[in-house]
Amino acid sequence: MKVIGKDTERVDGLALVKGKPVFADDIAIKDMLHVKILHSPVAHAKILEIDTSKALALEGVAAVFTHKDFTPHYYTTAGQGYPEPGPRDMLILDSTVRFVGDRVAFVAAETLEIAEQALELIRVEYEELPCIFDMEKAMTAGFALHPSEGTSGIHDVSRNVAAHLDAELGDVDAAIKTSDYVFEGTYSTPFVQMASIEPHISITWLDDNNRLVIRTSTQVPYHVRRIVAEVLDIPVSRVRVIKPRIGGGFGGKQEILNEELVAAVTLKTGRPARIEYTREEELFAARLRHPELVTFRLGFDNNQMLTAIDLNILENCGAYGPHALTVMSVTAQKALSMYKAPSIRVNGDGVYTNLTIGGAYRGYGAPQAFFPLESLMDEAAEQMGIDPIDLRLKNVFQVGDDIPIAKILGEGREGFPMVLYSTEIAACLNQARELSNWDQLRHQQQTGRFRKGLGVAVAGQGSGIPGIDMGSAFIKMNEDASFNLQVGATDLGTGSDTALAQIAAEVLNVSVDKIIVYSSDTDLTPFDTGAYASSTTYISGSAVKKAAEICREMILEQGKKLLQVESAEIIDTSVVAADGASMSYQDICTKSFYTEEQVQIMGTASHMSYDSPPPFNATIAEVEVDTLTGVVRVIKVVSVTDAGQIINPKMAEGQIEGGIPQALGMALTEFMPFDEKGRPINLDFNSYHIYTALDMPELVVRFADSHEPTGPYGAKAVAEIPINAPAPAVTNAIYNAVGVRVKHLPVKPAQILHDLKL
């Protein structure tokens, strides 16, 4: 291949490194209003009275909105399929607040400073209500956080269960009873934040035709258009959403978060409006990864083969449940798609609490699954006397295997049959073993204050949501043999515009600089469900490949007509007849525009798949534990990934190297503590510590030689898979170093010291 698999310069690279105005906020609009939100200072309360008169009287204030200004209309802020699989439990503004940070009111003013002053002038009288912060007590709290009237999709309002999940194949209880070995463990993962460098920013205005334009940092422009139109009761045709470059999303921008507020301001005042979250607001009022309390039971026979997997999930949704069902579904589906077991069962509940809202975060439930699963697999390997890598190799799914859980469990919907057409997880494990020097270092005797250990973990993910995700593309030819590629797919910093350009260029036999990409404008680009679920390369890339093939075929047919031949082929960038006569792309296009056979050479296509081939990853972590302080330092991470055919090696490597620090953060440093009144404590990057360059270990990143027959040029997803395995690899390495099993993240030095048996 000429382009696929080659390190290609990003199509937006030059603009980014030159600091060009490419982001949502890089636009100058006259007469713009600044919007600020009044957030609730209490975790659960009824608003008895709200007085905005002093705020409205402040010079420079254009509008103040409270719950009295909106007709109650429940919706979900989750940017996912329609009809949405999660509960509709949120209002733009509600007379009840349900967490510290909930929206009470919002103001629009001439300057940001005036808007902030106006917030201080709003007087609110609250009647505080009982709170629930413990997800284990949520279902027996004795009071409901949400009403039954008006809301929809909540599994059990009275017991605060936003979503429920249960499925079983085979007879798990019987299989566990007859197993030769049974292992059980309960593990937990914390609230963690996406910490995108660019916060949530949205700007709105009315165009010359009085249509609402929303320029916003989002992963899901089409979902933004649909939901804003619905909640503000205006036709979709009156809404245009533009997604510029994004300064990081990681799932946090798979959310309709404040676009409806600035839209309401513009519709009321007729003026442009802007909202930007501060870093503090990002940490307490945006979205976090759902904490989960997960229990696994694993049954094995005497040959160390799995007989049963029993999974129980308790998910903390926070105050609202936009992603309640789907995140929990992914936890189950990914965990139960890794290892073969004749009997499998899952039971899960996503519960409401008076804490910050859980949302989409890279991995989307899978990190919460693989930390407990891979920890318990390690424990099982030790007790059964088998190397942890060998135990995994014996039990992973193989090419040709049916993955039974996929038939009954999708992301909040019934699943589809799935056959594994490609997997190189064995190659990943074996290569990681060699690169980490596993066989030698794993068994070294450790003494002294600083002790080293190695740990392994494997993980899978998916490539889009089968039967749901859809992408589309339009491509047209220009006189100089360049092509305009228009896609709804959203590049959120991943480089997907470049990858899609490479796919089109490969089909059309041109260099990537001949592909001019325009993406994510609901007026000008075709529909795409958005950038989530690792769908862009696999789903949108397939749509681009189809559209480019149609365009290529049209070039060939036009060339034959213009050459007046029956048979010809494309060689490089010319149509060549059997007798040697030829015509270049440029001539074919120019003649098609201006002379004979006048027509626009173009192709358009859509793609949806019932397959979602899993990428796989094997990670080995080397750690050093200070037995005096309990502090853990990660020395080295070896990450080997099966992502099918790699479209752009450098960009794929960047995805892996970007996912690992996020996983290490969840394992060791990131968490969101709350005080006894539900107030978040870590509200800046001094106290909420994300992994930085100073913290990073040595990274060894490799890709297995793989080909997925259902993907464009053999590609599978690569975006989310690297985040799933590092955390359990680190905790397994801690055990190898000092004999302490970590079951609750993040790793706490005090707990290490408490459990040390020196």
Given a cut of 90, is residue 523 above it in pLDDT?
Answer: yes
Same domain, 543 and 649: no
- Read off the pLDDT band of 418 (50, 70, 90): very high
Query: Is 11 domain-assigned?
Result: no
If asked whether residues 648 and 513 sit together in one domain, one would say: no
Residue 273 backbone phi and psi in degrees, to 5 = -140, 155
For 137-166, the pLDDT digits (tens) are: 999 999 999 999 999 999 999 999 999 999
- 410 plus 537 within the same structural domain: no
Spell out the residues 6+ positions from residue 387 whose beta carbon is closer than 8 angstroms to its own: 381
Contact 29, 85 (CB under 8 A): no
Q: Are 450 and 474 in the same domain?
A: no
Q: Is the pLDDT of residue 246 over 90?
A: yes
Q: Flag the least confident range among 412-426, 544-558, 600-614.
A: 412-426
pLDDT of residue 81: 86
Domain co-membership, 599 together with 482: yes
DSSP state at residue 356: P
Q: Looking at residues 67-82, what average pLDDT do you find?
A: 96
Evaluate whether residue 22 is within a structural domain: no
pLDDT tens-digit profile of 372-396? 999 999 999 999 999 999 999 999 9
- Is the pLDDT score of 757 beyond 80? no
The string of DSSP codes covering 177-211 is HT-SEEEEEEEEE---B---SS--EEEEEE-TTS-
pLDDT value of residue 289: 98
Provide the pLDDT for residue 195: 97
* Whether the Cβ atoms of residue 528 and residue 554 lie closer than 8 Å to each other: no
Tokens of 203: 């700007």
Over residues 292-310, the pLDDT tens digits come to 999 999 999 999 999 999 9
Query: 542: domain CATH number?
Result: 3.30.365.10
For residues 264 and 273, what is the distance between their CA atoms, to the nearest angstrom? 9
Give the model confidence (pLDDT) of 462-510 as tens digits: 999 999 999 999 999 999 999 999 999 999 889 999 999 999 999 999 9
Q: Which of 608, 638, 671 is the last residue of a domain?
A: 608
Q: Are 405 and 337 in contact (CB under 8 A)?
A: yes
- Whether residues 84 and 233 share a domain: the answer is yes
Q: What is the pLDDT of residue 409?
A: 87
Q: Are residues 360 and 256 in the same domain?
A: no
Domain ends where: 608, 640, 657? 608
What one-character-per-residue DSSP string does 209-223 give? TS-EEEEE--S-HHH
Q: What is the pLDDT of residue 40?
A: 98
- Location of structure tokens 């910093």: 493
Question: Residue 185: inside a domain, yes or no?
Answer: no
* 329 and 433 within one domain: yes
Q: What is the mean pLDDT of residues 389-412?
A: 93
Residue 329 forms part of a structural domain: yes
**pLDDT for the residue numbered 758:** 62
Q: Tell me what the pLDDT averaged over the chain comes to.
A: 97
Q: Does residue 233 carry a pLDDT above 80?
A: yes
Q: Is 128 helix (H, G, I), strand (E, B) or coil?
A: strand
**What tens digit of pLDDT does each residue of 34-55 get?**
999 999 999 999 999 999 999 9
Are residues 362 and 461 both part of a single domain?
yes
Is the pTM for the entire model greater than 0.95?
Answer: yes
Query: Do 325 and 372 share a domain, yes or no?
Result: yes
- To 10 degrees, what angle do helices 259-269 and 221-231 make? 50
Answer yes or no: is pLDDT of 610 > 70. Answer: yes
Q: How far is Cα 679 from Cα 356, in angstroms, rounded to an integer?
A: 9
pLDDT > 70: percent of the chain: 100
CA distance 525 to 473: 8
In the chain, how many domains are there? 3
Instruction: Give the other-Cβ count within 10 Å of 46's Cβ.
Output: 13
The answer on 72 and 57 residing in a single domain is yes
Choosing from 608, 643, 664, the residue where a domain stops is 608
- Is the domain of 504 the same as that of 357? no
pLDDT at 411: 80
553 in any annotated domain = yes
Q: What is the mean pLDDT of residues 540-548?
A: 98
CA pair distance 197, 211, nearest whole angstrom: 31
Residue 566 lies in a domain: yes
Is residue 356 in a domain?
yes
pLDDT at 446: 83
pLDDT at 460: 98
Q: Residue 596's pLDDT is what? A: 74
Does the residue 264 lie in any domain? yes
Confidence of residue 725 (pLDDT cuts 50, 70, 90): very high
Has residue 412 got a pLDDT over 80? Answer: no
Mean pLDDT, residues 529-544: 95
What is the domain extent for residue 120? 33-129+200-276
Q: Which amino acid is at 242?
A: I
Is pLDDT above 90 for 548?
Answer: yes
* CATH number of domain containing 252: 3.90.1170.50
